[in-house]
Amino acid sequence: MHIRGDHAELVVGGRLDVRNAADARTVLHSALDAGRGDLVLDLTELDSWDATGLGVIMGAHRRAGRTGRRLVLRGVPDRMRRVLVATRLHRILAFEDGGQPGPEAPLPTCERTR
């Protein structure tokens, strides 16, 4: 995983998972504490995340609210959008275009077997 940027915009790449969650949390919290206004989190280079990585994003969202800021997601990869929609987290997170993941990110479907 790599994170680069400043207190206004961070680019996250690689894998955001249990192995690097503590480092990612530290960087996100430092950026939130140091700046003002929205913190844009660009996820276009993110390959994957696990539940711990998603927890880091949600923790940063909560911390942003406590510091009077807003965490704004940019470039969420499609498969990660589907996770946000399936868990309904898309309803509370902010996205750069002002919208939420929509029809391009349908809920996963399950097929019944007999």
Structure tokens at 104: 């391009």
The alpha helices in the chain, defined as continuous H runs, are 21-34, 51-66, 78-86
Sketch the domain layout of the chain as residue ranges. 2-95
- pLDDT, one tens digit per residue, over 30-87 is 999 999 999 999 999 999 999 999 999 999 999 999 999 999 999 999 999 999 999 9
Residue 23 near residue 56 (C-beta atoms within 8 A): no
Confidence of residue 98 (pLDDT cuts 50, 70, 90): low
The more confident residue out of 86 and 101 is: 86
What does the radius of gyration of the chain's CA atoms come to, in whole angstroms? 14
CATH topology for 2-95 is Transcription Regulator spoIIAA (3.30.750)
CA 57/CA 71 separation, integer angstroms = 9
pLDDT at 6: 82
Confidence of residue 97 (pLDDT cuts 50, 70, 90): confident
Nearest CA to 38 among 100, 101, 95?
A: 95
> Strands 38-49, 9-16: parallel, antiparallel or unpaired by DSSP?
parallel
Reduce the secondary structure of 10-29 to three states and give it as a string: EEEEEEECCCCHHHHHHHHH
pTM here is: 0.81
- pLDDT, one tens digit per residue, over 83-95 is 999 999 999 999 9
